[in-house]
A = this chain, B = another copy of it.
Amino acid sequence: MKEKGRTARADLDAVLAAGFVCHLGVVVDGAPVVVPTVYGAAEDTLYFHGSVAARSLTSAPGQTVCVTVTHVDGIVLARSLFEHSVNYRSAMIYGVPRPVTDPEETLAGLRLITEQAQPGQWDYARRPSRKELAATTLLALSLEEASVKLRTGPPDDGDSPDAALGLWAGVVPVRLVRGAPVPDPALAPDIPLPHHLG
């Protein structure tokens, strides 16, 4: 068994730290809606942008949501198609989100979200005004009810009768890569790339 569920807090933290986009699931009129959004993780709270969730919360307060963060690590090519799989790490967080209304907490949540996507950016760019903070729809979700699932390693049929077929088997690694920053065409030519992006 190379696919397993994990319950250790360290596993959850590692999955959350490795990305900045999650998939948020809410129930709207009895049907599921899954939308991508950005998140930031604090010690015991996940902060995320969620106008869809905010709308559904307004119409149905106290509703549970599911936030899933997934990293795809590889395509597992086995001898048999039945044993083909994907190496991945995925965290699911369940709970009733709380709309963030306190400006200080909104600021702290936005900082987490910003720094998760691009470390160093919070101290560089212009901070939100009071008006911008009021226009920000931020939700907070406890990390208490969470689970992690992952799969790692080679295919599972290396010691099966299929190994005698003489077929190549292994993993095609997959990873998210950041490229060199592309300046806004509207940028004045004398504005240098800041150190945290260099």
- Interface, chain A (partner B; CB < 8 A): 20-21, 23-27, 30-36, 38, 64-68, 70, 72, 74-75, 77-82, 84, 86, 88, 90, 92, 94, 110, 114, 117-118, 121-122, 124-129, 132, 135-136, 154-155, 158-159, 162-163, 165-188, 191-194, 197
Contact = CB atoms under 8 A, between A and B. Distances in A.
Copies of chain A in the complex: 2
Contacts of A180: 173
Pairs A-B, 9 closest by C-beta atoms: A158-B186, A25-B32, A173-B179, A25-B34, A154-B184, A23-B23, A34-B68, A31-B64, A82-B132
A176 B174 contact: yes
Contacts of A81: 110, 114, 121-122, 125-128
Contacts of A86: 20-21, 38, 117
Nearest to A81: B125
A181 B187 contact: no
A159 B114 CA distance: 22
Given A26-B32, A66-B31, A128-B80, A170 B187 contact: yes
B182 A173 contact: yes
Contacts of A117: 75, 84, 86
Nearest to A19: B72
Q: Which of A68, A135, A185 lies at the interface centre, i.e. has the most chain B CB atoms within 10 A of its CB?
A: A68
24 contacts: A21-B70, A23-B68, A23-B70, A25-B25, A25-B32, A26-B32, A27-B30, A31-B66, A32-B66, A35-B92, A77-B181, A77-B197, A81-B126, A82-B136, A84-B117, A125-B167, A126-B167, A155-B184, A158-B185, A169-B183, A169-B184, A172-B182, A175-B176, A175-B177
